[in-house]
Amino acid sequence: MNKFGDAPGTRAAVIRLRDVPMSTTMTNHAIELGDKIKNKTAVIGIVGLGYVGLPLADALHAGGLRVLGFDVDPAKITNLEQGVNYLKHLGADMTERLSASDRFEATTDFQRLDEPDVILVCVPTPVGTHLEPDLTYVIKTAEAIGARLRPAQLVVLESTTYPGTTTGDFIPAMLQAAKQHNRGEFKLGENLFVAFSPEREDPGRKSHTTTTIPKLVGGTDPVSTQLACDAYKHGVTEVVPVRSAEVAEAAKILENVFRAVNIALVNELKTVFDTMGIDVWEVIEAASTKPFGFMPFYPGPGLGGHCIPIDPFYLTWKAREHGCVTRFIELAGEINRQMPEYVVEKTAEALNDDEKSVKGSNIIVVGLAYKPNVDDTRETPAAEIIELLAQRGAKVSYHDPHVPSFPNMRNYKFDMHSVPLDAGTLGGADCVVIVTDHAVTDWQAIADHAKLVIDTRNAMAHIENPNARIVKA
């Protein structure tokens, strides 16, 4: 066996074809690449080793493929070489497994992009200050690939974006760079193969993993679709081809718009029911007893993570380009963005009832991560809540066992460290604001020692006879 010839794992995959036209005529380049993928001799390149790219690398590596990872951050490469997992929710065994394998390598050298037979692009797609799409990382990656492009490569974009990005932005940037660097002539479906396959990661979720979440695949042509499906089936149990890259792009946007709109609905209902003296959590629980026609969504202090607060605005921006107005989506975004202010206002009202002002009050924010049981702080509403409270003159601290120090964030910079939830800290606080309900949080300690609790997650619902006054927000 050669360096990469250790016995591959086996993984069954289901490919649902539906009415999607698959390839019937394949060029020599397509046949060559297809044989490599089928025989597991293809090298898989993954650009971006973050929340999407790293678990994908692990899944395809477990399926018996050689994986070459790329990232601009040297610290990630060092961690991977040493078997240190910088994404704690994935577990140390993942990086230990990869670092010990001679079928995995990570590098910052993008000159090696000509080595992989298949390149999967998993880079961020943020929005600007005015909620406009920022494709900087996507375009730079396309240009880097183009500068080293060679015949018989498959390139798949996974980054969430608006419909038309793959064909209208990514491919032109890649081909222009290939031309500038004299990489030869390329024709889609003949010697170059391109597809879009949206990431569907949900960090911290135990019920579904990269391997078990169905993988949508939409190529720019039937041959590309076929090749991409064949590549992914080595690491994913179910692959679902769709008719085009645009359909796959739109499906991902739909998934996140659906969640954003429904979360906005329950957030709005929370504020309405609160004025009526009705507990929205009890209402949702009651409505959930209906076995059909209702899917529960839950209110919160605002939206966090990379997808739901951001992705819908990629569609609204693109829709305006086509002369369409997305009132529903924009209203949902407006409601969700207002929730941190609502939480702070509820905190101010509760303190006022205790004959205290926000200014000068000691307030502990419980939970800095945007969701339970992870260390992911991307777009976390906790950061805005902390800033708003500080602007009102509060002395703010936070507790989060998963985030020991406040990270450097694009819009927020605080020199803060997680404080303990002990009797002294809680007893010295005027108010505790629950933003994230980690499973390891000592809710009983909060109930026993805090004076006032603002609960945005219904985390204290199970506590009986608390000493603290609990206000749901």
Per residue in 410-430, is it b (16+ CB within 10 Å) or e — as a string?
A: eeeebeeebbebeeebbeebb
With tokens 């390329």, the residue in question is 186
Given the DSSP bridges, would you call strands 153-157 and 469-472 parallel, antiparallel or unpaired? Answer: unpaired
Q: Is the dihedral of CA 74, 78, 79, 81 positive or negative?
A: positive
Structure tokens at 327: 């009132």
The residue among 55, 60, 124, 53 whose CA lies nearest residue 90 is 55
Distance CA 66, CA 152 (A): 17
Select from 22, 17, 13, 15 the least CA-distant residue to 225: 22
Q: Are 8 and 169 in contact (CB under 8 A)?
A: no
Q: What is the CA radius of gyration of the chain?
A: 24
Sheet containing 362-366: order of strands: 395-399, 362-366, 431-434, 452-455, 469-472
Active site residues: 307
Letter for the amino acid at 108? T
d(CA 128, CA 410): 11
- For residue 151, the 8-state DSSP code is T
